[in-house]
Amino acid sequence: MSPQSHPSHHAHQHGTEQGLWDPEAETRSRDAIEALQIERLRTLVARVAQVPFYRDHFVHREIGPHSIRSLADVRRLPLTTKDDLRRQHPFGFLAVPRRALARIHGSSGTTGRPTFVAYTARDLETWSHLCARFLVAGGLKPEHTVQIAFGYGLFTGGFGLHYGIERVGAAIIPAAAGNTRRQLEIMRDLDPEVLICTPSYALTIADGARELGIDPRTLPIRTGHFGGEPWTEDMRCEIEEQLDITAFNNYGLSEVIGPGVSGECSARTGMHIQEDHFLVECLDPESLEPVAEGEAGELVITTLTREAMPLIRYRTRDIARLDRQPCACGRGTARMSRVTGRTDDLLIIRGVNVFPSQIEEALLRVEGTTPHYLIEVSRPGRLDEVHVKVEIRPELFSDRMDRMQTLCERISREIQAVAGIRAHVDLVEPRSLERFVGKAKRVLDRRNLGA
């Protein structure tokens, strides 16, 4: 199958029954996957030679398609960072003429100035096809109705999933982000079986339902596909419990394509990477050497089939593990764990490495807390101090000091057990912390570490 060709309608109809959108591509053997990756990597190296950033590297090191004899040779190619994209802003990485572009998106800008991402018509077709794959793997069928509560606009999430759902043939309610009361009205009027949003917004919807006197478990949704921010397994349990749904995780990032890089199948033992389109390495973020199989490292992604803005060895800053063991679902693709943090939201507290997701994991182990929290880090003297503001359930918010103090101590002990740091815990009233429609901002670092 050529890089961009897609299976027939008949194959789709047959495949969706088995949870496979593209059975031929999704069930390739490991050997077949790697042979295809080598072939596509060689083609990619030839194509990006016209991009100044890569051309300079290639000329200097005498690199060309002939340099790729095995997948290990990808390490002869240069790494690409978000700063490289910013320095070439906006279109220094284009590998096609400007007239060939069909759409331009942008990253959310959560880590600074947004970067623009360009697509050709064929890129858009590939993208919708990849989203269709992970949605079908997670149970989406043509007869379903899907409510998208992701932002539309420059953010890639809304449009990427919209066109993926359209490919599958399911009905779409493009509710967009925000206005929780309206989301709930739509849900009750139109009976969607599937919800798409960030995991933190799924919990905001559950909160909003309770405020209106609705039991969130009576809402019509049965399945959720969540992405756009890191979340823990405990948070998945919380979402499933509150909304009485099955929650699936998916992963992507704007610079690489948007959602569609990987997603879970019904086994939910990691997210299947779409390896015919992405070559993923897992590297030690310090040494930039590959980590041992199954160890956590930074994901570095090469886009094998992107036309408009292909990237070689893009450093995602996301920390995860790779698993190449066969999956019960029959797919031969490598799976990635959920993202456990980012190399750039890593907090170093008195010499201890802490990810905000570890704090979340600790909170969700304590009955009565909610997944709404804010971590404040300060350095009043020479030592770091961590304050964690935690919302607790209305029925537990009490004016009895002894009860609240006991809860504080339990949370503090759990944070110490999971994250290895001592934290001051402040219990706050339900719904007193800011809610986020997109990516939740969980950390306020007041230490001025750059000074």
| Average pLDDT for 225-239 | 90
Domain locations in the chain as residue ranges: 1-343, 347-445
CATH topology of domain 1-343: Rossmann fold (3.40.50)
| pLDDT (tens digit per residue) in 190-207 | 999 999 999 989 999 999
pLDDT on residue 112: 57
CB 146 within 8 A of CB 331: no
DSSP-assigned letter for residue 80: B
pTM reported for the whole predicted model: 0.85
Q: What is the CATH number of domain 347-445?
A: 3.30.300.30
**pLDDT above 70 (res 415):** yes
Nearest to 280 by CA among 1, 71, 127: 71
How far is the C-alpha of 320 from the C-alpha of 360, rounded, in Å? 17
Read off the pLDDT band of 255 (50, 70, 90): very high
**pLDDT above 70 (res 3):** no
How far is the C-alpha of 20 from the C-alpha of 55, rounded, in Å? 39
pLDDT on residue 449: 61
Tracing tokens 């794959």 back to the chain, one arrives at 133
**pLDDT above 60 (res 438):** yes
pLDDT on residue 14: 47
| pLDDT (tens digit per residue) in 82-93 | 999 999 999 999
Tracing tokens 């456990």 back to the chain, one arrives at 340
The residue among 420 and 341 whose pLDDT is bigger is: 420
How far is the C-alpha of 105 from the C-alpha of 117, rounded, in Å? 5
Nearest to 82 by CA among 110, 101, 40, 48: 110
HSE on the CB side for 284, CA within 13 Å? 7
Read off the pLDDT band of 18 (50, 70, 90): confident
Mean pLDDT check: name the lowest of 23-27, 220-224, 226-230, 426-430: 226-230
| Average pLDDT for 309-315 | 98
Domains 1-343 and 347-445 equal at CATH topology level: no
Average pLDDT along the chain: 92
